[in-house]
Amino acid sequence: MNFFLKKLLIVIPTLYIAWTVVFVTLNIIPGDPVNLMLGGRPASDEVRENVRKNLGLDKPVLERYGSFLVNATKGDLGKSYLTRQPVTKMIKENMMPTIELSIGGLIFGVFFGVLFGIFAGTKPNSIRDTISMIIALCGISLPSFWIGMMLIYIFGTTLGWVPIVGDGFVSLILPSISVGLFFAGGMARLTRSSLVDVLNQDYIRTARSKGISKYNIILKHSLRNAMIPPVTLLGIQFGLLITGAVITEEVFARPGLGQLLLQAILAKDIPLVQALVVYMTAVYIFLNLVVDFTYGIIDPRIRLERKN
Amino acid sequence: MKKIVKIFFGISALFFSLSFVSYANALDIVFAEDRPDLRTLDPRITQSRHEEMLIVNIFDQLIAADSEGNHYPGLAKSWNVSSDGLEYTFNLRNDVTFHDGTKFNAAAVKATFDSIVDPETGSQGAVDILGPYKETVVVDDYTAKVVFERRYGSALTAFTETELSIVSPTALSSLGNDGFGMAPVGTGPFMFKNWEANKKVELVRNPDYNWAPEYMDGSGPSQVANLTYRLIKDTSTRVAALEAGEIDIAELVPPLDMNRFDSSGDLATVAGTVSGLPYAAFLNTTVGVFQDINVRKAFFHSLDRVKMTSDLFFGYAEAAFGPISSSTPSYWKGNEDYYGYNPDGAAALLEEAGWKMGSDGIREKNGEKLTVFFPCLLEPDTCVAIQGYANKVGFDVNVEVVMKARQDELIFANGYDMLVIRWVSLDPGVLIIPFHSRNIPEPGKFKFNWARYANPQLDQLLEDAESAETQETKDDLYMQIQKHIMDQAIFLAIHDQVQTVAYNPDLEGVRFANGNWQLRMYDVRKK
């Protein structure tokens, strides 16, 4: 318990630092939020100055930082420059689609990743190993915009099996495959190599000599021990997904945190970027904790070591 | 292993069977809008032509205008202008209600215009369009008098602009400025229903609508029951969804696809020439090689704009020649006689200016290369085409594709040789913004005279044109203005802006709003 408590205590300073870094960076890099907001529109000086005043951007930087900080401690992360809506509301609106896509990608990725990993790892250096690993490599290295466009072309336009921009569960299939392929590729490679290591261990040989069936050896004895590296990767990749998959969101015209962050950065919408970074940092910290916790479940020895 | 294979096929089968669930909805219209980041649907606040794509269908204006810019009675049955040009008296319809049941009357007109000029509202477009607005006087329930501080030549056009739509005063006071933009209430043919951020906005037909302008085909409520704006930024996805039948009408369709649809006949297409500034480049007259007018003229002559435009747009856009597009009022035909494609003439002008051809194909003068720094914010493919043409006569054009933040910095620092622009505008009065000397950018002050051209005579012409008394004087002044800009070779028009639309061929009545950018959906129906 002590271990988790310590980790939790680090959360607050981490969030504060991330939040401040964003504020400082966005104030240093070129670009004036008012001009970016008004775009190429021929707005008069009066309009520009009035917008600046309404957003509080006429106040000195330090004062703005101070009032952001005071409000943030009260749980008010401010209003977006662009939409004048509370940033927390905007994040909430875009969070569910991102979570749906992440879970879709996770299910696809873990299922096919582990499947191909076992397929390859149980017979290293065979043809099926080579083919599986080539497929995995494709999953990792093919850019997601290309995969997305191909999926749309094949399953949406040509075959007409799934909607391209529809609603509901069906519309989640293609985007999930698109993000899941990357996931699956990494999982497959790591599961394979980890499995190959474990299968060469003495206790597996012992198990074999005792006449335990091949599938029992793989699923009960080897896989569990081989899962520590893939679970670590899972945590990192799930973290990437839950903070938004910009390209996939764009190709499939889905709302999501990736698009929101991109829009916020391009427009220098400082309150929105800050809130998103706080959210993303919190998600990473949380997922790290979950991964640590999962180690203990997979391998009880890790729990013992912590106690000692 | 067999078990695993079985599970795999089981799951695949499940996925495929689910995918056959029906998702089509027959009689409703889905429109693909290319911007996902809509911020407000409040006509008083917006500055985005993409937001106006929706706003134009939710609201009405005092004066209606068709795609050609002709004026018709709108919410006002008639109007007259006082002899000093300061007072516009509107005789309003008395049978109009807002979507929330509020009666439309002179008080609503006053509430709308007064709130536009209130700094608290934070208007980004409407306040400029309302110009020298002084006040609105409620003469009686259905007579409103709008008073200006000084003569405002663009006033009648202004009252047709989407930004000056009349909004429900009841909704305004109950929702506040921020809330109104998220749930707009107007008098238009469609009512706001729902907005899923970054995904779609849903409108429904206004069942009480009985005040369509006379240029429309229909009367009474629209035949479109549900109008959904699906926000799809990715062009290829937009086109794919259109071809798959998930979308009925799509905007900003690439010319290549427009061409394909026209040859196959699978989809209907329509392209509108947007009024306002064409896609054009300012040449910086204060630094670098373009300080010399002969070098500017040579640059103009080096480009085959007609061929370039037809190569890039397959005939869906025309080459542009003047400071305003051919579809803008007061456009001067004389623009088209200037600076035709003439590489030999360009070479001669450069020779005359002392720029001699170097061994590397780039001209030189006193050891200096004929280099042009071209930060490109819009249409990188067109920028590169310009680069290629200019290179043939000895220019070394350095194209850097920039984001807006970087372009803004370069504008403040006067660190560019040319910059591109394009604007939608209904009135030639827009020219004062990019060409008056008071609009030359300064460090920290964003303005639009990017050629940094200062000339008292041009300033005077622009000011006079703004308060011209008759249409003839106005046309004459804008002719002189366009001639001046062309003579000085400071603004290189390339091609007209186009709005390319493709739609389901079973539909008809797809109609451009004034300005040829937004679409009015009221008349859309099945053939």
Give B220-238 pLDDT, tens digit per residue.
999 999 999 999 999 999 9
Rg of chain B in Å (alpha carbons): 26
How far apart CA B233 and CA B238 sit, in angstroms, is 7
Distance CA A266, CA A257 (A): 14
Residue B3's pLDDT is what? 52
Lowest mean pLDDT among A136-140, A216-220, B299-303: A216-220
Mean pLDDT on A130-137 = 93
> Per the CB < 8 Å rule, is B124 touching A82?
no
Q: Which residue has the higher pLDDT, B19 or A280?
A: A280
- Note the pLDDT of residue A305: 65
For the segment A152-164, the average pLDDT, to the nearest whole number, is 90
Determine the pLDDT at residue B6. 52
Please tell me the predicted confidence (pLDDT) of residue B450: 96
pLDDT in tens, A19-53: 899 899 888 887 788 888 887 677 888 888 888 88
**Beta pairing partners, B227:** B29, B203
Contacts of A118 in chain B (CB under 8 A): 4
**Which carries the bigger pLDDT value, residue B480 or residue A230?**
B480
B-chain residues near A94 (CB < 8 A): 197-198
A294 burial (CB, 10 Å; 0-12 / 13-18 / 19+) is middle
What length does chain A have?
Answer: 308
Whether A13 contacts chain B with CB within 8 A:
no
| Mean predicted confidence (pLDDT) in A81-110 | 92
pLDDT score at B349: 96
Q: Which residue has the tokens 């699978």?
A: B266
Please report the pLDDT score of residue A73 as a whole number. 82
Q: Which residues are CB-contacts of A170 (< 8 A; sequence separation ≥ 6)?
A: A162, A163, B18, B19, B21, B23
B15 pLDDT band, cuts 50/70/90, is very low
What angle separates helix A228-242 from helix A87-121, to the nearest 10 degrees? 150
Region B68-74: mean pLDDT is: 94
pLDDT recorded at residue B26? 40
| Contacts B448 to A, Cβ<8 Å | 42
Percent of chain A's residues with pLDDT above 70: 97
Give residue B23's pLDDT. 34
With bands split at pLDDT 50, 70 and 90, how would you rate the model's confidence at A238? confident
> Cβ separation of B124 and A43 shorter than 8 Å?
yes
The average pLDDT across A49-61 equals 88
pLDDT in tens, B341-395: 999 999 999 999 999 999 999 999 999 999 999 999 999 999 999 999 999 999 9
Contacts of B51 (CB under 8 A, 6+ apart): B38, B39, B40, B41
Residue B430: its chain A contacts at CB < 8 A?
42
Under 8 Å between Cβ of B320 and B305: yes
The number of CA neighbours under 13 Å toward the Cβ of B55 is 27
- Interhelix angle B305-313/B380-392, nearest 10 degrees: 150
Instruction: With CA atoms as reference, report the closest residue to B332 among B318, B321, B316.
Output: B321
Give the start-end residues of each E strand in B51-207. Answer: 63-65, 71-73, 76-81, 87-92, 133-140, 143-148, 190-196, 200-205
The phi and psi torsions of A124 (rounded to 5 degrees) equal -60, 150
The answer to whether the beta carbons of residues B397 and B381 sit under 8 Å apart is no
Q: C-alpha angle with apex B321: B318 to B324, nearest 5 degrees?
A: 95
Task: Give the model's pLDDT for residue A129.
Answer: 93
Tokens of B272: 């509108």
Single out the residue of B325, B209, B293, B337 nearest to residue B490, CA to CA.
Answer: B293
Average pLDDT, chain A: 87
What pLDDT score does A16 carry? 87
For B271, phi then psi, to 5°, come to -125, 135
Nearest to A91 by CA among A249, A247, A261, A240: A261
**Structure confidence at residue A304 (pLDDT):** 60
Rounded distance between C-alpha atoms, residue A144 and residue A138, angstroms: 11
Put simply, the answer to whether B240 touches A268 (Cβ < 8 Å) is: no
Report chain B's mean pLDDT, rounded to a whole number.
92
Distance from CA of B79 to the nearest CA of A (A): 28
A contact residues 145-204, partner B, Cβ 8 Å cutoff: 149, 152-153, 155-157, 160-171, 173
Q: Which pLDDT belongs to residue B52?
A: 95
- Indicate the pLDDT class of residue A8, thresholds 50, 70 and 90: confident
Q: Note whether A16 contacts B: Cβ–Cβ < 8 A.
A: no
Is B252 a residue whose pLDDT tops 90? Answer: yes
B chain contacts of residue A259, beta-carbon cutoff 8 Å: 36-37, 198
B-facing residues of A in 54-93 (CB < 8 A) are 54, 82-85, 90, 93
Among residues A21, A92, A98, the alpha carbon closest in space to that of A258 is found at A98
Q: What angle do CA B463, B464, B470 make, to 5 degrees?
A: 140
Q: Do A42 and B423 touch (CB under 8 A)?
A: yes
The stretch A137-141 carries a mean pLDDT of 91
Q: Cα separation of B20 and B14, whole Å?
A: 11
Predicted pLDDT of residue B19:
40
Q: Which of A215, A231, A222 is nearest to A199 (CA)?
A: A222
Q: Give the residue carrying structure tokens 């002709």.
A: B70
Residue A220 reports pLDDT greater than 80: no
pLDDT at B13: 46
pLDDT of residue B20: 39
pLDDT the model gives residue A29: 82
- Residue B134's φ and ψ, nearest 5 degrees, are -105, -60
Residues of B in contact with A263 (CB under 8 A): 36-37
**Lowest-confidence region among A115-124, A293-302, B99-108, B344-353:** A293-302
Residue B401 has pLDDT above 50, yes or no: yes
- If pLDDT is split at 50, 70 and 90, which confidence band does B476 have? very high
Lateral strand order in the sheet of B368-369: B356-357, B363-365, B368-369
SS3 category, A165:
coil
Closest chain A residue to B424, measured at CA: A41
Q: What pLDDT, on a 0 to 100 scale, did the predictor assign at position B230?
A: 95
Q: What's the token pair of residue A306? A: 């912590």
Average pLDDT over residues B156-166: 96
Max mean pLDDT among A180-194, A277-291, B129-143 falls in B129-143
What pLDDT, on the 0 to 100 scale, is given for residue A211?
83
Q: Which residues of A touch B236 (CB under 8 A)?
A: 149, 152
Q: Please state, for a pLDDT cut of 70, what percent of chain B lies above it.
A: 95
Residue B406 contacts residue B432 (beta carbons within 8 Å): no
Length of chain B: 527
Mean pLDDT of B315-334: 94
Burial letters B155-183, b for 16+ CB under 10 A, else e: bbbbbbbbbbbbbbbbbbeebebbebbbb
For A90-98, what is the mean pLDDT? 91
Q: With CB atoms and an 8 Å threshold, state whether A153 touches B240.
A: yes
Q: What integer pLDDT is reported at residue A308 of this predicted model?
A: 54
